[in-house]
Structure 1
Amino acid sequence: MNPLDATGDQTPFEALRAIALQLLSQGETYAGIFLRPWNFYQVGIALAVFVVAHILAQLVTPHMREWMRTREGWPAWRLRILIVLQRRLRMIFFVILIWHVIGIMKQLTWPSRSYLLTIIAELGTAWLLIALATRLIRNPTLRLLVRYSAWAWVTISILGLADETQAVLDGLAIEIGSTRLSIWLMLQAAALLIALVAAARFLAAAAAANIRQNENMSPSMQVLSVKFLQVALYGAAFFLALKLVGVDLTGLAVLSGAIGVGLGFGLQKVVSNLVSGVIILLDKSIKPGDVISLGDTFGWINALGARYVSITTRDGKEYLIPNEDLITGQVVNWSHSNEFVRLDISFGTSYGDDPHAVRKIAVEAALGVDRVLANRPPVCHIVGFGDSSVDYILRFWIRDPTGGLTNIRGNVYLALWDAFKENDISIPFPQREVRVLNESLPVARTPD
C-alpha cells in the first residue's frame, strides 16, 4: 500500500512514519542518480554559466546606470522597473544563457545529459519571475514572506515532491471536536488570506480614489464611505479565505458572538470611540480641514480615524483626541458652517483723549492689517469707564482661522500701538496714591 494513501486505520504517528520512510527511499534514489558522473558535469556547466552571467552583469551594470541617469523625462514607474531589472541582471543573464546551453546540448547529445540542467533552468526562471512579481507588494515584510514561500513551493513542485510534502504537512494536525486543523490547511488559509487581502486592498485604494474625487459628497461622507468599504472588503476577504479552505463558519459565528459579548464588557471605551466616530461622520459636525478648539487645544483637523481624531496645532504638535471626547465635550468649530471668524480685543485710553477719535483710529489701524476683512469692516465700542482709563472693545473678522488667531491679534495690537503713538493717544496704567493719616505714630527702632 502506498503510504500516501493511508487510511483512517493508521494513527497520525504511523502515517507520518510511513511518509518519512518513503521520502527517505526517494532521497536515496535521487542521490544515486545525482552521483552519476555526467551529473557532475552538468553541475559544473551550471556553475560556469553562473560565473559568465556574473561577469556580464558586472560589465553591463555601470553602463545601464549611466543610461538611466539620462532618462530624466521618463515617468517614475518606468524608472522603477529599470532599477528592478538592473538589480536582477545576473539572474536574467543566467536564465537566458542556461536555456541556450540546454538547447545546444539537446541538439548535440542525449536528453538525459541535460536533465539536471533543465531542472536548474526551471528553478532559476521560476525564482526570477517570483522575485520580479513580488516587487509589486509594497509592504517589505509581506513581500519577503510571499517571496520565500513562493520560492519554497515552486522548488518543491519542480523537484516532484509536492504530493509528499502535502502529505507530511497534512499529517501534522490536531482535532478539536469535529474540526481537524492541519498545518497544510493553515498554510492554505494563510496563502488565500494574503492573496484576498491584497486584492481587497487594491480594490479599496482604487475605490477610495474615486470617492475622494466625487465633489458631490461632503468630506465626512467621503471618509465614512472609505472606512465602510475597507471594513467590508477586508471582512469579506477573511471569511472567504476560511470558506475556501473548508472551515465551518457556523461554529465560528457562535464563537464570534461569545467573543463579541466579552469584548463589549471589556472594551467599552474602544467600542464607544468607534461608535462616536461613526456618529461624527454621519452628523457632519466636524470634517477634515475644520479649525476647532477643545479645552486648551486649538488646531485644525488633519484626519478622522476610527478611534480618534488627529488635530495639528500651530506649534506642529499632533494631538490624537478620542472620538468620545468630541461627542461629550464642548467643541468650538471655527469653520463649521462658514470660514468667517470674528475676533475681539480689548484696550483702554486715558480720559484726556477724544473717544470719537480713538474709535476711528482703532478701526483704521485694524483695516491696515493683513487678513482683516474689509468687506466686513471692524467696529470699535466703548464698554465702560474704568478706574484709570476708558475701556474699548475692537471687533474684526477673518476668514482663515487655520492661519492662527494669536498672531493676528498680536498684529492688530501692534497696529493700535503705532497708530496711538502717531496720534498722541496715551494708554494709561493704574496709578495709586498712598497717604499717611496719622503722622504721630512712633517709629520702630531696631536694637543696637
Structure 2
Amino acid sequence: MNDLTDPFADFIATLEGIWLSAQSFLMGVMAPGWRQNQVLIVVGLALLSWAMHGRCVQLLESYVRSREGWAKWQLRFIVQLKQRLGLIIFAVLAGCTYFVMQNITWPSRSYLIGLAATLAAVLVGTAFAAQLVHDRFLRRIVRWSLWVYATLYLLNLSDDVAGFLDNVALELGEFRLSILTLITALVVIGVLLMMARFASRATASTIRKNQDISPSMQVLAVKGVQLALYGVAFYMGVKAVGIDLTGLAVLSGAIGVGLGFGLQKVVSNLVSGVIILLDKSIKPGDVISLGETFGWIQTLGARYASVVTRDGKEYLIPNEDLITGQVVNWSHSDDFVRLDIHFGTAYGDDPHQVRKLAIAAASGVDRVLTFKPPVCHIVGFGDSSVDYILRFWIKDPTGGLTNIRGNVFLALWDAFQENEISIPFPQREVLMLEDSKLSVRNKTGAD
C-alpha cells in the first residue's frame, strides 16, 4: 500500500509546490513594481512582434519571388521560417531588451524578459530541430517534448518532475520499470535510431556510387548495414538506460515460436531475398519473364521484387516465387538476346534470293546488331509455302521485344513487295461430284 501512496503523495506535494509558486508569481504581477513592469514589457514586445510580422512576411515573399533556382531544402526552410517569423521577431526583440536592461539596471529587474526571450528561442530551435523527423505525428511529439523539457529546466522544475516520474514504477521482483526510465529509454533509442538512419543513408549512398560492386551486392550490403546499425542502436539504447534484457529471454522465445508459425511465408520471402542477393541470379535492371509477366527489375526488396512492364504496370512478385518458379532472365550473364521470326514464301520464289532479302531487311532495322549478323534458314516444306526462320541479335532487351519483332516483320514485308516475293496463305478448293445430292440440286434448281 505504501508503494502506491508514496508516489501519489509526492505528486500532490509537487502540485502544491507549483501552485504556491504560481500564486506567488501572480501576487507579484498584480502588485506594482518591476515584476509587473517586466510582464507589461513582454506583452508590449509581443504586440510589436505581431505588428511587424505581417510586413516582414511580405518582404520575405517578395525576396523569394525575385530569386530563381531554389533547392527543395531551401524552400522548406523558407516555409518554416515564414511560419515562425513572428516568434523569431519576439525572441530577437526580447533578447535585445534583456541585454540593454542588464547593463542599465539591476539584473533582477529583467529576469522575466530574459526568460521569455529564452523560451521563445527554445521554441524556435526545437521547431527547426524537429524537422529532421519526417513523420508528421512523431515530429509534433518531438517538438513539444523538447520544448516542455526546456521549459521545466528553465523554471527549475525538471528535478522535481523527474523525481516524481521515477517514483511511479512497476516492480516485479528485481525488475523495476519507472515512467522516467521508460521516457529516457524512448528518447535515447529515438536519438540513436535517428543517428543510425543518417549513418545508413550516408553508407548506402557511398555503396551505390561504387561501380566495382554489383547491383545485387549493393542492395545486400545496404540492407546488412541498415540492419546492423538499427540493431546496435536499439541494443545500446536499452543498455544505456539500465534495462536488463535477460528477464525477457523466455518471453521473447515464446513470442518467437508463435511468430514463426504465423509468419512462415514472410520468413520464406525474407530468406529467398537474401539468397537472390547472394547468388546474383536476379539484380536490379535485369529483364525477366515469369509466367505471363515480362518486364525489368526495378527494385529488390526484403519481401518482394518490383517488376515494371512495358505498359507501365508494376508487379510486386514475392521473392519465394523467384526462387521456386521458372524465371527467364534475358540479361543474366550478358545483355545479348537472340530473337527468332518464322515466315513462309511461295514455292515459285527462289529460296536463295529469299534468304538474302530477309538477312538484308533485318540488318537494316535499328537495334539489330551488325557484328552478330542475322541468319536465315529453311526449316521445312509446308503445305502451301517454304518455311524459313530468321534469327537476329539485340543488346537492349529493356527496350522491348514485341516492337523490334514488329519492325523486322515490316522490313520483310517491304523487301518482299519490292522484289515480288509472295507470302502464300492456305487456300481450299471445293469439288462437287456428279452423283452427289448437292450437284443434283444445283442442276434442278431445288432449294
By the TM > 0.5 criterion, same fold? yes
Match of 1:217 among 208, 213, 216: 213
TM-score for both structures, normalised by structure 1: 0.91
- Which residue of the other structure, out of 283, 290, 294, is the alignment partner of 1:287? 283
1:230 to 216, 226, 241: 226
Partner in structure 2 of residue 140 of structure 1 = 136
Describe the shift of the 1:224–1:61 C-alpha distance in structure 2 as closer, same or farther (beyond 3 A): same
What is the number of equivalent residue pairs in this alignment?
436
Structure 1 match to 2:445: none
Deviations 1:271-301 (A, max 9, x none): 1111111111111111111111111111111
Q: Is the 8 A contact 1:19 1:164 kept in 2?
A: no
Q: Where do 1:17-416 residues align within 5 Å? A: 17-36=9-28, 37=31, 38=33, 39-72=35-68, 77=73, 80-416=76-412
> Secondary structure of 1:417's match?
helix
**Residue from 2, 11, 27 that aligns with 1:10:** 2
Q: 1:275-329: CA deviations, max 9, x gaps?
A: 1111111111111111111111111110111111111111111111111111111
Contact 1:204 1:233 in 2 (8 A): yes
Could you tell me which runs of 5 or more consecutive residues in structure 1 were left unpaired when the two chains were aligned.
1-8
In structure 2, distance between residues paired with 1:149 and 1:70? 38
Which piece of structure 1 moves more, 408-417 or 141-150? 141-150
Q: Is the 8 A contact 1:276 1:323 kept in 2?
A: yes
How far 1:190 sits from its partner (Å)? 1.1
- Change in Cα spacing, 1:26 to 1:62, as seen in structure 2 (3 Å) is closer
In structure 2, C-alpha distance between the alignment counterparts of 1:177 and 1:430, rounded to whole Å: 91
Superimposed CA distance per residue, residues 67-88 of structure 1 (whole angstroms, 9 cap, x where no aligned partner): 3344436766556545543443
Is the Cα contact below 8 Å between 1:95 and 1:125 reproduced in 2?
Answer: yes
What is residue 439 of structure 1 aligned with on the other side? Answer: 436
Deviation at 1:19, TM superposition (A): 2.5
**Structure 1 stretch 118-127 or stretch 332-341: which is displaced more?**
118-127
Shift of 1:266: 2.0
Aligned mates of 1:119, 1:298 — CA distance in 2: 66
- Partner secondary structure for residue 368 of structure 2: coil
Task: String of CA shifts for 1:202-247, please: whole Å, max 9, x gaps.
Answer: 1111111111122221111111111001000001111111111111
In structure 1, distance between residues paired with 2:210 and 2:392: 35
- 8 Å CA contact 1:19–1:167 kept in 2: the answer is no
Moved more, 223-232 or 254-263: 254-263
Q: Contact between 1:303 and 1:310, CA under 8 Å: does it hold in 2? A: yes
- Supply the AA of the counterpart residue of 2:22: Y
Worse overlay, 20-29 or 425-434: 20-29
Distance in 1 between residues matched to 2:21 and 2:51, nearest whole Å: 36
Instruction: Tell me the SS of whatever aligns to 2:2.
Output: coil
Contact kept? 1:289, 1:300, Cα under 8 Å: yes
Q: Structure 2, unaligned stretches of length 5 or more?
A: 443-447
Paired residue secondary structure (1:288): coil
Deviation by residue 1:23-62 (Cα, 9 ceiling, x = unmatched): 2243123222222224444332212101212222322232
Structure-2-length-normalised TM-score: 0.91
Please give the secondary structure, in 2, of the residue aligned with 1:345: strand
